[in-house]
Amino acid sequence: MLIWRTLLLAAAVLLTGCANLWRVDSEVQSFASWSSPPGPLPFRFERLPSQQTEAQNALEQLALPALNQAGFVLDTARPAYSLLITTQAQETTYRDDPFMWGGGYYSPWIGGGIGAGRGWGMGFSAPLWRAPPRNFQRQLSLVLRELSTGQVVYETRAGFDSRSPIGTDVVPALVAAALQGFPHPPAGPRNVTIELPH
């Protein structure tokens, strides 16, 4: 009996651990134009005129731990690089058309109608509303510029799609995914999976 209890407890712990991990599957593409970047990268954040907000400050703070892990060091006094970080969120609603080609009458209202038959009885079913499916997207972009030359030396972006609304809590995973392979990333688009506590 003690062995079974121990096994059940271990299984519960494993399931709890799996349930608390959030898999963020991102599509990433990166471009580098340097041959041999230095070790630590002292940088400052660059902001567009439209980014002078508290929301941008919060975004940069969320990104900072993943940037530090990649070798970036925030140094506003003597930066060698500037880093521009942008993010966009988008929601798309799809028309759930079972005809696939758009033919025939279709309504998201399902199950309506009145029916009568031989003998005794009549049936009625109220229509039910089925909301069309939605897709939520968040895109993140990082642009690294060498201040001494003004040249962009690294550009990378990551995108994540979900059936559930996506908040800014996904930003650390997107930054980590975008910097996968830094400073010499593989060519072409790639899929990167980052696991976060959830």
- Summarised one tens digit per residue, pLDDT across range 17-31 is 445 667 889 999 999
**Reported pTM:** 0.70
pLDDT at 158 over 70: yes
Domain CATH for 162 = 3.30.160.670
**Token duo for residue 90:** 């988008």
- 49: DSSP letter: G
pLDDT tens-digit series, residues 30-80: 999 987 777 889 999 999 999 999 999 999 999 999 999 999 999 999 999
**Token duo for residue 157:** 């972006």
Mean pLDDT of the chain: 79
Q: pLDDT at position 122, please?
A: 53
pLDDT at 154 over 90: yes
Tokens 């029916």, residue located? 115
> Does 124 reside within a domain?
no
Tokens 């990166």, residue located? 30
Domain hosting 147: range is 21-35+55-90+136-198
> Does 156 reside within a domain?
yes
198: helix, coil or strand? coil
> Does 49 reside within a domain?
no
> Does 151 reside within a domain?
yes
For residue 99, name the pLDDT band (cuts at 50, 70, 90).
Answer: low
> Does 106 reside within a domain?
no
Total tally of structural domains belonging to the chain: 1
∠ Cα 155 161 165 (to 5°): 120
> Does 126 reside within a domain?
no
- 108: DSSP letter: S
**Token duo for residue 150:** 């003004």
